[in-house]
A and B are shown apart, each in its own frame.
Chain A
Amino acid sequence: MTSLAKHRRHPAAVLVVILLGLLVTGGLYAAANSATQAQSVEADELQIEQGRKLFLEGCSSCHGLQGQGSDNGPSLIGVGAAAVDFQVATGRMPLANFGAQAPAKLPDYTEEEIQAMAAFVASLAPGPAIPSESELDYSDANVARGGELFRANCSQCHQAAGRGGALNDGQYAPNLMQTEAVHIWEAMLTGPQQMPVFADTTVTPEDKREIIAYIESLRTSDDPGGWALGRFGPVTEGLFVWIGGMLLAVILAIWIGAKVR
């Protein structure tokens, strides 16, 4: 003890104490954690195995037995869990029939099955992950800035009010009014079909939350002018006034010109 006490004023003493402290707490934490970690690794493996089975049944005819792709479907190596969740949970995959574009429909798989398939595809190669609840929480996001970002990055295809629009060859940018926040996020991250990828590096997670908050505000905002007519703007409004107004003008003309008895 006396020899140790002699060294307690040594310059290295502080470092030694800190190092010891770190080692002890780290060791204790690892020991306490290893049990739960082993459990979750096992659960992950089970989930991947379940996903692999579902994939072989439902997806491999087009995407290949190892997800390497074929003439009928692209490779899924590296697309990540986010792409699987987007495509399957919005019902776009499995494809009902080959056409210009996979339409959104009711999903064929349960939430659990989709998670399993996502885990399997994510195990093939690293790719974008499904966003967590906290990542998606857009309650504090700046809606006005989201509007600016939406108009700069999204509105050219999805229309300024998010009602979607036409592309070429029968393809289209879908209406966003029913799309869940998680799927909007995943679409930006993975670029499904003709949509470009808006990676976290150029449209940051904060930007994404703001964009989603803006889309949400579009859904809930009132139409002070009454009938929104799909919020498609002057085309539908003009068509409505033309057809309705012309009809009214014709009726009035018939009344004015009718012979009086």
Chain B
Amino acid sequence: MSDDTQDQTGQELVQSTGGATKELRPGEWPPADVEHHLRRTDTDPKAQARAVRQVATMFMLSVLFVILFIVAFIAIPRDAVVSIPFIGPISALNSAMGLTFGLAIFLIGAGAVHWAKKLMSNVEVVQERHPMKSTPEETALAADIYEVGRDQSTWAKYPIIRRTMLAAMALVPIPFVISLRDLWIQPASVSTPSVELKTTIWEPGMRLVTDITYQPIKADEIPVGGLVNAVPENLPEVEEEEHNLNARAKAAVIVVRMLPEEIQSQQAPEGDNWDYNGVLCYSKICTHVGCPISLYQQRTHLLLCPCHQSTFDLSDSAEVVFGPAYRRMPQLPITVDDEGYLVAVSDFAEPVGPSYWEISRP
């Protein structure tokens, strides 16, 4: 190809640019010694004029779309709906604004690219690199400036000022670090973050109630295979008082029932049972990163977390059988009160929710 320097029209396609150099203007790089293909816009004035028109049209259209954007914003009612094929009914205002503004921006970019490709100089150049090191004169000058500054500021003259200032600046960040302690919200009843993380509002005799509807749950009315999303009876009052969801985030539980003979193990100490006639209660907060989970497969007794696929076997102490969770789901010991409603025997024996560094500390 490089031998063939003529195309069918007989036009010269390749121009040697390395030879006779015309005078360079300041800031202009010398053309590199490579073959340079001329574009049609370089040789044909008609093509050149057409490209100029095209670029200018794109910029003018961009202006037009900005005006259309303003018109659309003012003219189209906010609740108007337009049905677009394949997309369906959508907000007319949003789609008009998106379309006009999107095209306005796109046409500026497209015009710039078209301009660069068709009209701007595309002569290949080699940009020579200079050495990175400063000249000895510049280095000496910098040293002089430093010394003048040092002397005029008396930085070297009074070491006591220098040292006390360094000490002051070193200590200034300390208040920011100290105040990190208050990142956790401290309820009046709780003393330390460790206690706060290890306790929930469950207490002995606290009734379990259904979530959302807050109705007490009769143990006998849960069928085998049943699932109830439950919370402590006093949760609405606590939420009212604390104005946050901290209590709910720790105390939410799920109640399931299986046949007593299907229960392989529980978290109760040897010789004790924390279920009531096959009704088991476990924390709803995944021990991996704390997603609320109640994705319970009643035939396999598996509890799945949809966030990271941790899987717990509720018939076997909620041990982890799959996934990234490290700890089993904590079990809430339950029994029934005089009226047959489910109540907690105590708070959880293990911290609920995601694990943390100090989890094994008392």
Contacts and interface: CB of A to CB of B under 8 A. Distances in A.
A57 interface: no
Interface stretch (B18-26, B66-74, B156-164, B295-303): B295-303
B280 interface: no
B88 A202 contact: no
A198 B299 contact: no
A156 B306 contact: yes
Contacts of A191: 223, 225-226, 298
Nearest to A225: B90
Interface string A206-242: 0100000000000000111111100000000000000
Contact of A168 (B87, B88, B217, B297): B297
Contacts of A222: 81, 89
A208 to B, nearest CB: 12
Contacts of A29: none
A202 B298 contact: no
Interface string A148-159: 110011001100
Interface stretch (A1-9, A10-18, A88-96, A253-261): A253-261
Nearest to A150: B212
Given A157-B295, A168-B311, A261-B40, A202 B302 contact: no
B228 interface: yes
A201 B229 CA distance: 13
A202 B228 contact: yes
A197 interface: yes
Given A168-B311, A224-B90, A199 B221 contact: yes
- Most chain A beta-carbon contacts within 10 A, residue among B37, B91, B229, B300: B229
Contacts of B91: 224
A167 interface: yes
A194 interface: yes
Contacts of A152: 211-212, 229
Interface in A139-176: 145, 148-149, 152-153, 156-157, 165, 167-168, 171
A193 interface: yes
Interface of B: 37, 39-41, 81, 84, 86-91, 95, 113, 117-118, 122, 210-213, 215, 217-218, 221-229, 256, 292-300, 302, 304, 306, 309, 311, 322
Interface of A: 145, 148-149, 152-153, 156-157, 165, 167-168, 171, 191, 193-199, 201-204, 207, 222-228, 255-256, 259-261
20 contacts: A145-B212, A152-B211, A156-B293, A156-B294, A191-B223, A193-B299, A194-B298, A195-B298, A197-B225, A202-B222, A204-B213, A222-B89, A223-B90, A225-B90, A226-B88, A226-B95, A228-B88, A255-B113, A260-B118, A261-B40
